[in-house]
Structure formats: C-alpha cells, structure tokens
A and B are shown apart, each in its own frame.
Chain A
C-alpha cells in the first residue's frame, strides 16, 4: 500500500508498504530515519517514542496505515534545521551525562521535550511520572533527571 504523511515537516509518500508494518519500520527501514529505536517493539520501553500530531506515541505500536495524512516528528526533527543547534533537551542530555549507550536516549529526549512543552518547571515527581514509560539500562536515571532539570532551567532562562 501507499502511505502519505508528514515527517519532520516534509511531506513523504511511501510505496510498497506491507499492511503489517509499523510506523517504526517505515521510519527506520523505508525513510532512513533510524533515530527512533527498536528495543522491544511492543510498547514497553519507549525507545521509539515520536510525536504523532504533537502527541508522544510508541512508533512500534502505530500501524503504518494509521499515519495517513498525519504529522510525525521524530528525534531527528528536534534540533534546529540542519542540526545546527541542538534542542535544549538534547543539549542538556549530553551535558548532564544522561547518555551512556544512548539507545534509550532518542525516546527519552522526545518524551522529555513533550513534558517541558506542557510543564515548563516540573517537580521531580512529575518528571518521573512523565518518563516512567522509557526504560534505560545504563544510567540508573539519576543523570536523566539532572538533564531534564537542566533543560527546564535553560528554557526558562531563554524566555
């Protein structure tokens, strides 16, 4: 089948999509956007989190056909055009040491980005709740919390 949707602001038409394919497969294998990760492919780990019409979803749980006519924003679309300038959340993850193997990072970055767009100054309990669906095996989450707090401060200072 053919699927038409918008990815990171660009209109895309994808042909020969098998009906059973997920949005994650289409992004990774057909559009060359492997930033969304494939750690569990059953909605448990959050590593494939993308925005679908501004709502964070697990791309592995979205059938490719469901995105027809809709907008998707992946981790590749968070930095300023051309990747010149990182999003404050991305910058904070690097700086705070929240990245080790990094496989969970794209999903966490997208989820944290969503949190800060809704709650600019979150309490720790809110950060934990928002990121509860994103598994990380390396960091023990301490520096991920540091990163989200740092990004919130940076965004507040920039306002």
Chain B
C-alpha cells in the first residue's frame, strides 16, 4: 500500500506526502477498481453461510423453540440457540454485560437474535430459519421513556432496571437567577432516531483454526474491544482468536457494538467450517444500534441584552433494551447540554433509560448532537426575544479559552467561537434566486411541484461543541509499531496498528506521519490486526489524535535510535542530527550520511503506546469534573429555499467554519466536514427510524431516506488552525463537530423562511405547510 507522492497540497509540508499534504489514499486504487476486500466480499472454499433468526416482537417471552425441522433441512449444517453458547451468554460495552448472545427466554426488542443457522447457500439458511418454530407469549412493550423516569420499577425492561444513567449538572443557583432574569424563553424539543446507514452491511468470516481457536475477519471500529467481548462468550482465550480487520464500508458509530462476530464464531466452532455472515439492508436496520432519540425541555433566562443568566434543562435519551453506550452518551448530553456558551447558573437533568424501543448507542456526535439541536434552537429564541441577531446572541455568550464548561472544566486550549462566527458572517452569500430558476434547483426539483411560486428563502446558523477522545476517566490509548529498514536499496517504513480504517483516511494519515517523522518516502501500512496492541476505537474523532500520536511517538523512537547509530558511526553528537529526504542531516543542513548507509541490513523497530492526559468522572450529584480531554467547535450557516405551501425544502448552500488545530490532510479533512455536514442535513430533513409500539416501520433504503447528491448543496469551508498544545501536532479531532451544527442551522433557516416553530427533527413537510404544524 505504498503511496506515490503527488504535488503538495496548499499547506507547506516537510517532504512530499507528509503531514499537511494530501497524498492519495493507499487503498484508493483498490477501492475504485473493485478489488478492495470488504467484509461482505470474503469467500473461502467450503464456506457456509450463517443466518440469524430475529424476534418479530418488541417484547415477548419465548415459551418454546423447536429447531428440529430446520435442522433436518438438506444443506443445513447447524441450528443454534442460547443453549449452544459455549461460554458467557451475555456481552456488552463498557463492562456492562447485559445483552444476550441469543435470547434467553425473553426478547426485549424487535430484531433481537434468537437462533442461528449455517447452511450451504444463503437461501437455504433463510428457508431453514422459517422452519424454526418459536412459541411466543407477547408482552406489552415499554415504549415511553418519560414513563420510565416517572416509574422506573413499574417499567423495568431488564434486570439493570429502568434508568440506565441519571446525570445531573448543577452550577450556581438557578432558583435565584430565575428571579433576576429579564428575559425568559423556553422550549420542548425532540430528536428522532437516526441510523448510521453505513453502506457496507455487517459482515464477517470466522474460520476454525487448528489450535481450536478462530481466525476472524471482521468489519469493526475497535478490534480489541470486540475480542474482549467475543472470547468469553465463545469460551476461548483471547490469544486463541486472531482478529484481522476486513474492509469496512463506513461505520459512524454503528460498528462499536458487536453484530455477527460471536454468532459466526459459534457456527464456525460447531461446524468446523468457515462461516460467513452478511446482513442485508433490512437486517442491518435491526443488526446495529442507532442514535438515541431525545426528548428535551429547555428554559433559559437572560438579561435584556441577551446575556445568559441561567439554563434549566431536562434531556431524556431512549437507549432501548440494553446498555450499549448509553452510559457515555448520557454523560455527553449532560456535560455538553448547553453547548459552548458561558452560563453562570445551570441545572441539567440528563437521563438515559431502558425501553423496548430499538436499541441505541454510538453514532457520530454521540449525545452531543441531540442537545445541540435544542440549545441552538434556544439561542435563536433568545435572540428573537431580545431583538438581536442570531450571530450576535451567540457572540455575546460565546466561550473562549479560559471559560468554564457546564462541568466546571476550564477550557485550556483555544476555543475561538466568536472569531469563527465573525468568519462565518464574512463568507459570501449565495446569489438570490433569479427570476426564472432552473427547476432542478427548486424545492421538489424535477418533480415540478413549483416553478418558483410560494418559495421563500431563509438563512440560519448553528454552533456545535464536541468532546474529542474518550472522556470520564477512561485510560484512552493507542499503540503503534514502526519498523525502518532498507528494502530494494531504499529506506522504507512499516507502520502496524490495530486502528480501524473505516473510510476516514487513517491509513493515509499514518503514512504521512511516518514520512514526516522518519524523512522517508516509502511507507507501508500493515493490515490492522490484533498482533499489535490496542488502538482504541475509530470513534469520538480520536484516531488522528490517538493513533496519530502513537505512530508519531513510535517514529520518534525509531528516529532517535537511527540518529544515535549515525552519531556513533560518524563521531558526531546525535542531538545535532536530523532526518530529511532519506538522509541524515547535520545542524548546518549538510548531508552527513544516507539512511541506507547507517541502517545497512539492520532494521530498527519500536512499539509505543500513546495515552492522552487523564480525565475525571463527572460527579454523580453535581456533574462537575474535568471529564473531557479536548473540545472542538464547528459553526454552520444554512441557506434554504422552502416551498411554504407543500413544506418541501431545498438547501441552497451550507457554509462551515471549523477550528481543527492543525490541518493534517486538507483533502481528507474537507471530506470529513462535507460528510459530517451531510449527515446533519439528513437528520434535519429526512432521516428517521419510525417506530410504532416498539416496531420499526421503515427498515429499508426505500423508506429510510439518506441525502442524495440532489439533496446536498454546494459547501463553502473556512478551516482555521489554533493549535492545541496538549495534542500531537496541535491537532483537534474533526470528524464529528460538523455533524452537530449543520442540523440546527438548517432548521433555523427553515424557521427564518416560514416562521414555524419546528421543534422536532427531522422536520416533516406538514410541520411547515399546515397552519399550527402537524397537530
């Protein structure tokens, strides 16, 4: 995967293809030719196909299961239930093992896995599943998260109870501030269930090994954490399972939880044959957790000139039946519940609850997205109440370096929100609609629902604050092994980590860092596997920081050894030497040796862990604590055209300004901002898993809509670099923040055009077009 350099990007970089450049992705050619092996492409001689029987009910007891007829089907090699789980029968994230591998006597959400089949052909497996006779005793599902808070015991859906986490935040004296406030605004907001909708379905291959263990090829965000959950359930030691990352077709949080891993392992161990499992899109909607839906009540008080005095907030997140990441999502919603604004008195009550609704967990933005829609809607409301502009109200309350978050944590690196807003304001606006617009540019597009009549333009703004890396005391680290040797007469580096490339471009970045730190051109990225230490998850916008930091640190160790050898060989002080363009260079820039001359036939290898600074748990009573490692800001402006009669929206343009600390790879960074913005557009306008009585009504791409190229407008970007002194290269994680702020900006723009309150996302046409909204 050695990547040839190309012309340098707009950032001056030491060496072609180094940090700051945009070299082509090392996996790019394989991906455009169709040769890149995604998990669903894997194939082996003698391979069987696994399939999963899932519950049709959101909540039911299993009176009996008869697998006999299924097992007797020709071409079927195994039919397994919970009784066949070789080890622990439950698993889960963050040590909360509350999710059954296969249902034990009861199902708690629609789509919960009940039984497994392995067969010669996927269609045989499917038909065999239909022959598994399950006798259900259907129960009334718990579907109202507020009812769970009111009566957790009476609405208990599993042993751990009704409330998964209650996290209060208390700052100052809200009751006293309420008496002083000159302006009070309040609102109730709702966020529907968003799906990650990664395109590559959950897939993988489990191959029985001679030692009784398994070789597993899986599509995941965090191999080592998968392994910690898989091994005990399969009754294997972790060293008996060799994990290799198969090609990942997008993730966005949806691969943090296990899907088919243990199931394929069980079938492979039982049959002694390789087993592939690959979900179709329908099953994928049941095969992973989604973004938590949220119910939120906000009340803000301020002075007449729009300076915030207090925030009184309740956030309710519905996590579904099992814990997944609800503990941490709730903490995020609580700690970031009022966003990047200085508020002297705060009361937040954040709840994550268990219900029989679809299971929810990690998705890009992770708890911060939901709160952002509410607090940004509140800022617009406050601006209107005070008679000042939406940008001005945000500037007046904006945090900066030295400000305190709701948790009391002091922001100890740049947080230039006011400047980002100034820059956003300075960006040119798209031209106003002309007298005879191209019909494809209008709401409704080629459906010709309007020729311009009834179309009103609106402009809105959104600001988002996201924590970067894992928070609340987690020992967050990554590991990298770097090897430098001469191959074909040329110095070459090999970088080996377990970090998951999920599309974000981490493989490109690792090579860039190695080029910059080692002064070599040839860098190969070893396939990600568990023969090297834990890299942590490709989530929380943390891999550039953490695995980037680990690769940098390992390269520095290799370089130090190389220079020490050079110093000894040449009789020079190693501290005066550096590497550049494959050469050892003295302080006066004189080339004193080539790397090949110093290395000869030797290799220098170093493995290093990189940990970020410690963080603290939020106090369970006050919510106070330095819980976050790093914080990142993004701001958006949305310009929309709305057909106010039909409620159709065309987003005309999205502009974003983001502080990223340091631009590591301009092209990949822009791709993250574009893509994150598009997912925020989806949440604003169209994306929702619709649920009735705990049942999903739209588990397909026909009925769950994600933005197409017609929905996503052109973007204007302004990227600024205020280095974070705590982070490698000063970088700031960048993948998630744009997903936060684009949603409230778009909704604000529609409000601007229509005057409708729009308190729920995704916005439905009837909320725009019918007087009084959808009611």
In this assembly, does B474 line the interface, its C-beta being within 8 Å of a C-beta of chain A? Answer: no
Are A132's CB and B281's CB within 8 A? no
In this assembly, does B706 line the interface, its C-beta being within 8 Å of a C-beta of chain A? Answer: yes
The answer to whether residues A99 and B32 also contact, given A128-B440, A141-B678 and a CB cut-off of 8 A, is yes
| Chain B 98-125: CB-based contact to A (< 8 A → 1; otherwise 0) | 0000000000000000000000010100
The answer to whether residues A135 and B671 also contact, given A32-B43, A38-B201, A102-B31 and a CB cut-off of 8 A, is no
Are B250's CB and A137's CB within 8 A? yes
When chains A and B are docked, how far (Å) is the Cα of A38 from the Cα of B505? 22
Interface locus among B34-42, B321-329, B603-611: B34-42
Considering only CB atoms, which chain A residue lies closest to B42 in the complex? A34
Write out the residue numbers on chain A whose beta carbons fall within 8 Å of the beta carbon of B29: 86, 90, 94
In this assembly, does A1 line the interface, its C-beta being within 8 Å of a C-beta of chain B? Answer: no
Q: How far is the CB of A4 from chain B (nearest CB, A)?
A: 21
The answer to whether residues A101 and B248 also contact, given A139-B674, A143-B674 and a CB cut-off of 8 A, is yes
Are B199's CB and A97's CB within 8 A? no
Are A78's CB and B709's CB within 8 A? no
Write out the residue numbers on chain B whose beta carbons fall within 8 Å of the beta carbon of A138: 250, 503, 671, 675
Q: How far is the CB of B109 from chain A (nearest CB, A)?
A: 23
Q: How far is the CB of B279 from chain A (nearest CB, A)?
A: 10
The answer to whether residues A103 and B34 also contact, given A47-B199, A95-B24, A139-B675 and a CB cut-off of 8 A, is no
Write out the residue numbers on chain B whose beta carbons fall within 8 Å of the beta carbon of A101: 198-200, 248-251, 502-503
Q: How far is the CB of B284 from chain A (nearest CB, A)?
A: 9
| Chain B 233-252: CB-based contact to A (< 8 A → 1; otherwise 0) | 00000000000000111111
Are B28's CB and A94's CB within 8 A? yes
In this assembly, does A131 line the interface, its C-beta being within 8 Å of a C-beta of chain B? Answer: yes
The answer to whether residues A100 and B706 also contact, given A29-B43, A39-B199, A76-B33 and a CB cut-off of 8 A, is no
Write out the residue numbers on chain A whose beta carbons fall within 8 Å of the beta carbon of B41: 28, 34
Are A143's CB and B281's CB within 8 A? no
Are B670's CB and A97's CB within 8 A? yes
In this assembly, does A7 line the interface, its C-beta being within 8 Å of a C-beta of chain B? Answer: no
In this assembly, does A125 line the interface, its C-beta being within 8 Å of a C-beta of chain B? Answer: yes
Question: How many cross-chain pairs have Cβ atoms below 8 Å apart between A and B?
Answer: 188
The secondary structure that dominates the A interface is loop
Are B709's CB and A18's CB within 8 A? no
Are A129's CB and B710's CB within 8 A? yes
The answer to whether residues A41 and B281 also contact, given A94-B25, A101-B198, A143-B670 and a CB cut-off of 8 A, is yes
In this assembly, does A59 line the interface, its C-beta being within 8 Å of a C-beta of chain B? Answer: no
Are B440's CB and A129's CB within 8 A? yes
In this assembly, does A51 line the interface, its C-beta being within 8 Å of a C-beta of chain B? Answer: no
Q: How far is the CB of B737 from chain A (nearest CB, A)?
A: 14
Are B678's CB and A140's CB within 8 A? yes
When chains A and B are docked, how far (Å) is the Cα of A18 from the Cα of B251? 33
Are B33's CB and A83's CB within 8 A? yes
When chains A and B are docked, how far (Å) is the Cα of A144 from the Cα of B249? 17
Write out the residue numbers on chain B whose beta carbons fall within 8 Å of the beta carbon of A103: 38, 198-200, 249-250
Considering only CB atoms, which chain A residue lies closest to B40 in the complex? A38
Write out the residue numbers on chain B whose beta carbons fall within 8 Å of the beta carbon of A39: 199-201, 249, 281, 701
Are A100's CB and B503's CB within 8 A? yes
Are A144's CB and B709's CB within 8 A? yes
- Of A44, A74, A144, the residue contacting B34 (CB under 8 A) is A74
Q: How far is the CB of B689 from chain A (nearest CB, A)?
A: 15
Are B280's CB and A100's CB within 8 A? no
Q: How far is the CB of B462 from chain A (nearest CB, A)?
A: 16
When chains A and B are docked, how far (Å) is the Cα of A94 from the Cα of B200? 19
When chains A and B are docked, how far (Å) is the Cα of A44 from the Cα of B438? 26
| Chain A 87-110: CB-based contact to B (< 8 A → 1; otherwise 0) | 000110111010111111110010
The answer to whether residues A137 and B706 also contact, given A94-B25, A103-B199 and a CB cut-off of 8 A, is yes
Are A141's CB and B446's CB within 8 A? no
When chains A and B are docked, how far (Å) is the Cα of A135 from the Cα of B682? 12
Interface residues of B in 45-85 (CB under 8 A from A): none
- Of A29, A99, A136, the residue contacting B31 (CB under 8 A) is A99
When chains A and B are docked, how far (Å) is the Cα of A47 from the Cα of B675? 18
- Of B37, B200, B250, B702, the residue contacting A44 (CB under 8 A) is B702
- Of A29, A86, A99, A128, the residue contacting B25 (CB under 8 A) is A99
Write out the residue numbers on chain A whose beta carbons fall within 8 Å of the beta carbon of B389: none
In this assembly, does A20 line the interface, its C-beta being within 8 Å of a C-beta of chain B? Answer: yes
Q: How far is the CB of A91 from chain B (nearest CB, A)?
A: 8
Which 9 residue pairs of A and B lie closest in terms of their CB atoms, listed nearest first? A35-B34, A101-B503, A140-B674, A102-B31, A103-B249, A140-B678, A34-B41, A44-B701, A94-B28
Binding site for A on B (CB under 8 A): 6, 22, 24-25, 27-29, 31-38, 40-41, 43, 121, 123, 196-201, 247-252, 278, 280-281, 438, 440-441, 446, 502-505, 667-668, 670-671, 673-679, 700-702, 706-710, 712, 714-715
Contact sample, A vs B, 26 pairs, CB 8 Å cutoff: A28-B41, A34-B41, A35-B33, A35-B34, A37-B199, A38-B40, A74-B34, A75-B33, A76-B35, A86-B29, A90-B32, A94-B29, A94-B31, A102-B28, A102-B32, A102-B249, A103-B200, A132-B708, A134-B709, A135-B701, A136-B709, A137-B197, A137-B252, A140-B675, A141-B707, A143-B670
